[in-house]
Amino acid sequence: MAQRTLSELLNQINTLITSLGGGEISGADVRSVLTDIRDSFFSLSDHGVNQIQGLSATLASLQNSITGLQSALADKSDEGHGHEIAEVNNLATTLSTLSTQITGLQNSLAGKADSNHTQPISSIINLEAVLDQKSPVGHPHDSEDITDAVTLFLDATADAALITALASATWTGDVGAVTASPAWAQGRMHYDAGLLYVAVDSNIIARYRLDSRNITVSTSAASGGNDGDLWFQVTA
């Protein structure tokens, strides 16, 4: 008889069963198959673990690996697990610090004004005192309040050169170029023979015909005269 593999043994049994359809099975055929099964079984079971080279060491190594794996798994948490705050290093201290900082920030914001806010004058230091020293917009002035103003009308003596220059001016309509030294100051005027001359630039003069209107330039307050007359009060 012979030692056979499992596949060979199965083939023998299948062949034996198939032959049942062709007649009787001899005792020799059955004994042959059973003997092969017996011989094959004993060929495996007759060897102990220590008789197979390296098997004992391999099994011991596998056992150690499995034991180590079990220990490692025992130290691991389940997937999707949670933690208490106290279980996370320094988390409680960090959260406490953040809470204190947020409280401080909220207190600071509480002491701030909105971006678009209004304030009464009294809440701005010294603003009331500064405003009290200012004049209203569009306020008037008396002539004596203006300390550096140029006399409005030309003076016959001081401005003789300007008055003389009017005689040689070149006029286009009622606008003339008048060259004199010193030059005219913008806004200064001169009246002569029913014409009012007004400097619109340093050497450009406009003239206005006043016909029979009387123009008076005086340091005194206006008095007398007729409708249409002009009276200019100046500082001496």
Asked if 83 and 91 count as a contact pair (C-beta separation under 8 A), the reply is no
Instruction: Tell me the mean pLDDT in the region 51-65.
Output: 64
Instruction: Tell me the mean pLDDT in the region 16-40.
Output: 59
pLDDT attached to residue 31: 65
Of residues 13 and 45, more confidence is placed in 13
In sequence order, the β-bridge partners of residue 199 are 205
Can you say how many angstroms the Cα of residue 171 is from the centroid of all Cα atoms in its chain? 64
DSSP class of 13: H
In whole angstroms, give the CA distance from residue 167 to residue 100.
Answer: 89
- pLDDT of residue 44 exceeding 50: no
DSSP class of 214: -
Which of 40-44, 59-63, 92-96, 177-181 is the least confident region?
A: 40-44
Q: What type of residue sits at position 53?
A: Q
- Tokens 């130290």 locate to 75
In whole angstroms, give the CA distance from residue 33 to residue 30.
Answer: 5
Segment 163-210, tens digit of pLDDT: 888 888 888 888 888 888 888 888 888 888 778 888 888 788 888 877
Kindly state the tokens that stand for 159.
């401005």
| Mean pLDDT across the chain | 74
Kindly state the tokens that stand for 116.
């678009």
- pLDDT of residue 139 exceeding 60: yes
Backbone angles phi, psi at 227, to 5 degrees: -60, 135
SS3 181: coil
Instruction: Tell me the mean pLDDT in the region 64-68.
Output: 65
- pLDDT of residue 74 exceeding 80: no
Segment 85-136, tens digit of pLDDT: 888 888 888 888 999 999 989 888 888 888 888 888 888 888 888 888 888 8
What are the residue ranges of helices labelled H in 46-159? 55-74, 91-110, 127-132
* Percent of the chain scoring above 70 in pLDDT: 62
Kindly state the tokens that stand for 161.
């050169």
Asked if 163 and 156 count as a contact pair (C-beta separation under 8 A), the reply is yes
Kindly state the tokens that stand for 202.
């340093």
